[in-house]
Structure 1
Amino acid sequence: MQRRDALAAIAGGLAAATISGANARAAPSGAFSLDRATIDATLRQFVTAGRAAGASALVWQGGAERYFGAAGFADREAKRPMQRDTLVQIFSMTKPVTGVALMQLWEQGRFGLDDPLARYLPAFGAVKVLAGTGSDGKPILRAPSRPIAVRDIMRHTAGFSYGMRDTAADAIFHEINPLALTNTLDEMGDKLARVPLLFDPGEEWSYSTGVDVQALLVEHLTGEPFEQHVRRAILDPLKMTDTGWTQPASRLPRFAASYTKADGSLARIPDEKARALNFGPRRLTMGGAGLASTLDDYMRFARMLLGRGTLDGTRILAPSTVDLMATNQLDPRITRRFFLPEKGAVGFGLDFAVRTAQPRTATENRGTVGEFFWDGAETTLFWVDPANDMAVVFFVQVTPFDGTLHHDIRAAVYGADYLGPAGD
């Protein structure tokens, strides 16, 4: 479960976003009014309808905090309320942090995006592609049509499995188990290189272990343990003091419990299982999951991205690098996109989904052309909306992943009819 989770152009002109108590509805110009009461009511409904034990949201817009709200419980059984400093497992919202760490090294000239991955991680020079199944039931393998490029591991086009599909490669993935917490990052890479690719690099989009390979690449390029490097290069400079893979026992009372939804009701996931990534014994620091964070900490990361790489005078990335990451990297010929269309009219940049067109149906998530975002397995979400000078972080802890919560929190922020500016 922990592995699931996922800018054609910067939208022309800034939308005139205002803050008022009126109902949030779309205007012809694409402007909207942020309605605090609507967001409050939406968070409460998530709890009263049994969709989540607790929920919280934080909105930053126009250089200031515009909304904070929370409803329900971080720990339903202990009657501990969801609060601003509640720590949650953000799972795949770890991925953008890893991507930023790798792109810092790209800015330093340590690698090229189109370099063969095997130049730095030789084990991936021997990968094979799944070409079918023989009459003996064994997978048929062949050499890939081209090497995996570094860009591929950042946009999920390398062909790696994530164990999420019903293929022979996924079966081998589960058997080899590269993401076992008992592996080091090096061992993860060696094992993953033995799993057949689902397709030739660059041919399809499929959510994958590519971001864990990014972490391995960071470790090899820097000679520094990945967790230590991210702390030094990103978390400490951004003053994200509560965020990390390894958490001290003193923070346990602030951790949200995790819940799974079955038969219409929520059941608590045992704490020892839910918190294994942060408190249990492990050797693996995943690039694709494992961080725990608070609303305020993750908002500092989102605000850095909204600021095109800089927050409070601290530069993490160059503006052009953030723009590159938030630009759709998928060739139009990449039409097979495993589950990505569920996110709406989006493409994919470097570790972010990016909105490329206005919402096309009433059921699609509200959003603005040029926004970039990602989410986590327990239904957490963040997005950065440059057109409205806004960033939003939304926390719940519920599995299986529930995209309806994202639809509804976005509708609460923007208004159910919001389309935003058309973009270029």
Structure 2
Amino acid sequence: MRHRLRLAVLLSCAFAVPTMASTATDPTDRHAGVARIDRARLDQALRGFVDSGQVIGVSALVYQDGREAYAGAFGLADREAGRPMTRDTLVRIYSMTKPVTGVALMQLYEQGKFQLDDPVSRYLPEFAGVRVYAGTDVHGQPLLEAPARPISIRDLMRHTAGFVDGEGAPGPVGALYRQAAPESYDNTLAEQSRRIASVPLLYQPGTRWVYSPAVEIQARLVEVLSGQSFKHYLDQHVLGPLKMRDTRYRVADGDRGRVAALYRRSDDGVMTRDDHEAWKLNGRDTAMTPGSWGLVSSLDDYMRFARMLLDGGELDGARILQPATLRLMASDAMPAGTTDRSWLPGKGQVGFGIDFAVRTASPARGDEASGEVGEFFWDGAANTLFWVDPTNRIAAVLFAQWLPFGKVPLHKAFRDAVYLDDSSAAAPRD
């Protein structure tokens, strides 16, 4: 009965969810999502960042209408070794792991294993007794209250669960999070979930958008609902069927020479190699297989994932998701009353779906990156990026390897070079 109900829901979504990016655009609008893939313009945009010394190495791949429309690689994957950046280079994709996790969990949704509005505590009992931070008393001790409603699985997938935003979070809840140490490399996903559940929520579920470790709980749900370890589930149901042979948590010794070095950029633009950060997970044998980060991938591998999303959940005969499920993931699910969206507005005119940002309006200012209404995308801490644009039939992947995120307008220049005229594509100088 539950399976038949789920089928009815999926069929209703197929008719009820509007076609993504159905809004027509005016080609005279310099911010409209009118894609004109020009290899020379893209080369100029990306090479300019390397030539100006702002970026050590960068690579990009664009597909349009099912065909490769652009591939380029510039600069060095490893400056100290003199090794060039190529399309075969492996990079740490950090938070671009999140959409992969979301796809895995939504496969189980299709199987009727859960409903999006189910309480997380139905499957992970450690969340049954969670409390919400409500300020401090006269002695500076945290005051806690009961949640107005349980955390739902939908909250996990759109970052409205109430969790604190990770290891560097300020305030009493941040201190309690660090004391619980859920991000220790020795933690399994089960232990990580228990530790996160022991920390009070920062806010009432559904009232704010705060980027958080919620995707680790998604990965734990995959384990509980499937009966497999998260890594094995990914290998068997997502990475394997998509033939993503380069995408993994651990880098084999024989592949070390393909991995890009990771650099840390100072405020004055100096890039310093950071080997400790680079290998804190991928070079170690640890229990941790995060849902939020940790995978390495190659351009062509991650493009297979992006092309699957563009093609409605299927690639080369491998059906990963149903089209209705994918439309659900790529639709804005932000609660209407959510006025605090943290730094998300910095991504442009966007809402948030299921592990993707979703563009809801054309760029409103000149400093916003170009794009099309209805596209969905995400990026990674080391300045990787991908997006899927159903209107222009585009999937794009951009790789670089430096921390912290931003400070160099690479993403905007790449997007502008895909969508805009030549005058906007040149790399700005420091």
CA 1:339 to 1:28, structure 2 compared with 1: closer, same or farther past 3 Å?
closer
1:100 aligned partner: 103
Corresponding residue to 2:208 among 204, 216, 219: 204
- Structure 1 contact 8–355 (Cα < 8 Å) conserved: no
The residue type paired with residue 11 of structure 1 is A
The residue type paired with residue 363 of structure 2 is P
1:157 aligned partner: 160
Counterpart CA distance in 2 for 1:237 and 1:139 is 48
Q: Name the % identity.
A: 51
- Structure 1 contact 162–173 (Cα < 8 Å) conserved: no
1:303 aligned partner: 307
The residue type paired with residue 228 of structure 1 is H
2:182 aligned partner: 178
Cα deviation for residue 49 of structure 1 reads 2.3
Counterpart CA distance in 2 for 1:342 and 1:322 is 25
The residue type paired with residue 22 of structure 2 is G
Secondary structure, counterpart of 2:261 in structure 1: coil
CA 1:197 to 1:13, structure 2 compared with 1: closer, same or farther past 3 Å?
closer
Mean CA deviation greater in 259-268 or 234-243: 259-268
Counterpart CA distance in 1 for 2:360 and 2:18 is 5
Structure 1 stretches of 4+ with a deviation exceeding 4 A read 13-17, 25-30
- Structure 2 contact 95–292 (Cα < 8 Å) conserved: yes
2:375 aligned partner: 371
- Structure 2 contact 32–372 (Cα < 8 Å) conserved: no
Cα deviation for residue 107 of structure 1 reads 0.2
Mean CA deviation greater in 34-43 or 250-259: 34-43
CA 1:235 to 1:86, structure 2 compared with 1: closer, same or farther past 3 Å?
same
CA 1:30 to 1:75, structure 2 compared with 1: closer, same or farther past 3 Å?
closer
TM-score computed with the length of structure 2 as normaliser: 0.90
Corresponding residue to 2:399 among 390, 395, 400: 395
1:81 aligned partner: 84
Total equivalences in the alignment = 405
| CA deviations over 1:297-353 (Å, ceiling 9, x no partner) | 000000000001000111000000000000000122111101100000000000000
TM-score computed with the length of structure 1 as normaliser: 0.92
Counterpart check, 1:136 vs 2:139: yes
- Structure 2 contact 241–318 (Cα < 8 Å) conserved: yes
- Structure 1 contact 9–356 (Cα < 8 Å) conserved: no
Corresponding residue to 1:343 among 347, 357, 365: 347
Gaps of 5+ in 1: 1-6, 18-24, 419-424
Counterpart CA distance in 1 for 2:414 and 2:362 is 17
Counterpart CA distance in 2 for 1:231 and 1:210 is 21
Secondary structure, counterpart of 1:240 in structure 2: coil
The residue type paired with residue 206 of structure 1 is V
2:288 aligned partner: 284
| CA deviations over 1:183-209 (Å, ceiling 9, x no partner) | 111110111011111111011110011
Counterpart CA distance in 2 for 1:165 and 1:36 is 42
Secondary structure, counterpart of 1:171 in structure 2: helix
- Structure 2 contact 359–375 (Cα < 8 Å) conserved: yes
Cα deviation for residue 31 of structure 1 reads 3.1
The residue type paired with residue 101 of structure 1 is A
Corresponding residue to 1:12 among 6, 14, 22: 22
Cα deviation for residue 16 of structure 1 reads 11
The residue type paired with residue 96 of structure 1 is P
Cα deviation for residue 27 of structure 1 reads 7.3
The residue type paired with residue 98 of structure 2 is K
Cα deviation for residue 417 of structure 1 reads 9.9
Cα deviation for residue 266 of structure 1 reads 3.5
Mean CA deviation greater in 236-245 or 272-281: 272-281
Secondary structure, counterpart of 1:363 in structure 2: coil
- Structure 1 contact 89–290 (Cα < 8 Å) conserved: yes
- Structure 2 contact 308–315 (Cα < 8 Å) conserved: yes
- Structure 1 contact 242–294 (Cα < 8 Å) conserved: yes
CA 1:103 to 1:185, structure 2 compared with 1: closer, same or farther past 3 Å?
same
1:4 aligned partner: none
Cα deviation for residue 276 of structure 1 reads 2.3
Counterpart CA distance in 1 for 2:139 and 2:30 is 62
Counterpart check, 1:57 vs 2:67: no
Counterpart check, 1:43 vs 2:43: no
The residue type paired with residue 193 of structure 2 is G
Corresponding residue to 1:320 among 314, 317, 324: 324
CA 1:31 to 1:128, structure 2 compared with 1: closer, same or farther past 3 Å?
same
CA 1:35 to 1:262, structure 2 compared with 1: closer, same or farther past 3 Å?
same
Mean CA deviation greater in 350-359 or 268-277: 268-277
Secondary structure, counterpart of 2:270 in structure 1: strand
Cα deviation for residue 166 of structure 1 reads 2.3
1:237 aligned partner: 241
